Amino acid sequence: MSKTFKQIMEEARSEVKELSPAEVNELLQKDGNHLLLDVREREEYRDGHLEGALSLPRGFLEIKVEAAVPDKSAPIIAYCAGGVRSLLAAKAMKDMGYQNVISMSGGYTAWKTSGYNWVQDRQFTQEQATRYSRHFLLPEVGEEGQAKLLDAKVLLVGARGLSSPATYYLAAAGVGTLGIVDNDVVDLSNLQRQILHANDRVGMPKTESAKKTINALNPDVRVVTYQEKLTSQNIMRIIKDYDIVVDGCDNFPTRYLVNDACFMAKKPNVHGSIFQFEGQATVFYPGKGPCYRCLYPEPPPPDMAPSCQEAGVLGVLPGLIGVIQALETIKLIIGKGDPLIGRLLCFNTLGMEITNLKLKADPACPLCGEKPTIHNLIDYEEFCGLRAAHAAPEATGSRESNSSSLRSGLQPLNA
Ligand SMILES: [Zn+2]
């Protein structure tokens, strides 16, 4: 014989324990072990919910609950808007073997009118919900991760080969604030790899061209441009407003400068470098792994470090490494995955070999070691031996890591 709704409710009430919002509040105060389960629709949850509540809409409950809450003895408090859906949900869960499910009578409405604490998730516009829908589908990102991306502030050093794809993908992913430091203008020879720029922008400052490209891709992104050369004088002022620095520079003085400043300001530095057909990427995270000086205490002699201009570079290579930098940056922002801290990813495009080298912090590192000798930013042009030899026209520097020097530098670490 089929049951009426009234009979179903009576049956559920006889089997499921119900607590009022006041009783739930008291229980939560004295015992933090209870899992709050919100069985309302996503839209209702988004408008406001109990802090820390897991959202599992009633319609998907039976399908998803075992994956979300594998422990069937876990103490659970289910709630909905008025107490009916959660009572039926608790009954269904009891039938599935959950031994300790309570339903909150009166639901979220009664909870809220009683004046108890509730929180609201970030509100996405319809356009954002569509734009980031593929992120929302990933449990590792979801709405929470997307909110973190939109709140994140990332500084890109350079608007060149590496930072072009890094910036482009970070903008597409919805990183809310992107700062770009570059003092160069677009040259026709850049367009073989610097995909932020375009043919009709030759002669335009790279920061301006980058801003145009990003604005056209994603209006959610606020672009802050710094059309200046990064120096010991301005770097601390610039990086203080950012959570993460992506180093896409192409010369040693800037690389050491960014490393030292990031260490001093305690900012993660997502590093990439390229030479001809080889590239590498890592994350220098102050306090969590080595810094650039742990790997390379001394810069190579200037004549051992030919620039892209002198040695050439495969157009796709900065794309590969820059995208890895974007990926690592996103992982740091959403706090998921295993970032390249203490690991150097080496990419050889001709042999298509990818290796991961373990890196250790050097206790003798002059910057991050046990007895540091570097406490302030220095003159990096002089440190790299470029002060006299290279003034204009390469004042912005365009020196790539020398492949053989990279290898020799890595040998001890690889052992
Ligand atoms: Zn170090």
**Ion ligand 1 neighbours, Cβ < 5 Å:** 291, 293-294, 365, 367-368
Report whether pLDDT(321) > 90.
yes
Cα of 296 vs centre of ligand 1, distance in Å, is: 9
User: How big is the CA angle at 382 (ends 376 and 384), to the nearest 5 degrees?
Assistant: 100
Cα of 259 vs centre of ligand 1, distance in Å, is: 9
Mean pLDDT of the chain: 90
Tell me if residue 227 falls in helix, strand or coil.
coil
Q: What is the pLDDT of residue 25?
A: 95
Spell 88-119 as b/e; 16+ CB within 10 A means b: bbbbbbbeeebebbbbbbbbbebbbeeebeee
In sequence order, what E strands does 32-119 have? 35-38, 54-55, 76-79, 101-104
What would the mean pLDDT of 352-375 be, rounded to a whole number? 96
Eight-state DSSP code of residue 297:
S
Cα of 74 vs centre of ligand 1, distance in Å, is: 45
Report whether pLDDT(413) > 70.
no
- Strands 153-157, 177-181: pairing kind: parallel
Cα of 286 vs centre of ligand 1, distance in Å, is: 9
| Cα dihedral sign, 297-298-304-306 | positive
Cα of 331 vs centre of ligand 1, distance in Å, is: 23
Cα of 324 vs centre of ligand 1, distance in Å, is: 22
Report whether pLDDT(191) > 50.
yes
Mean pLDDT is lowest, of 132-136, 307-311, 341-345, for 307-311
Cα of 321 vs centre of ligand 1, distance in Å, is: 22
Cα of 323 vs centre of ligand 1, distance in Å, is: 25
Cα of 361 vs centre of ligand 1, distance in Å, is: 6
Q: What is the pLDDT of residue 407?
A: 37
